[in-house]
Amino acid sequence: MDKLRSVDPVQLGDNQINDWARFEQDFNILLLANELDEKSTKVKAAILLSLVGKPLKLEVQKWKLEAATLENYEALKTKIREKLQPSANTTYATFRFRSRVRLPGEDIDAYIAAKQELAQACKFSEQLNGDTIEDRMVKDDVLLNLRDSDFQTYLLRDKKLTLQSL
């Protein structure tokens, strides 16, 4: 069981969904390396809960999940992923999309895949907060080009930001 301690716990905070993804990947490797991948869903769920770290374990307790979810490995992972996912902020998602540039040495297929993944969170095809697509494009361009990074960060936190509210 000493090998089980080799997975770093999930760090809650601004980057928690990415840290959860890292944990999930490390945890899957750990299960395989320790020949635990064939264990029952209940056992894998228990191992997962024992390794996620105290802060996340306390959060899971606050969620008051049903026993069936707590004992089902896949259902538990899905619920944790859902709860750690930040609420939708299309303005911030669009900022991330528009800010993403092709990295040195990155092949075009990888770059396109990254842009497509980022575009999904932008909900470009939906009218949001009363803004038309043209309003969203202008608002997003204004935000992307703000010189005051503190003000830009402040505005990007507003999940209901519209062109008119700028």
The verdict on 70 and 114 lying in the same domain is no
Please indicate, yes or no, if residue 165 is contained in any of the structural domains: no
The verdict on 38 and 101 lying in the same domain is no
Please indicate, yes or no, if residue 163 is contained in any of the structural domains: no
Count: domains in the chain? 2
Range of the structural domain that residue 58 is part of: 2-84
Q: Residue 4: its pLDDT value, please?
A: 57
Lowest mean pLDDT among 8-12, 81-85, 87-91, 110-114: 87-91
The verdict on 30 and 16 lying in the same domain is yes
| CA-to-CA dists, residue 22 to 17, 27, 35, 95, angstroms | 9, 8, 20, 24
Nearest-angstrom CA–CA distance, 160 and 72: 36
The verdict on 12 and 80 lying in the same domain is yes
Whole-structure pTM value: 0.54
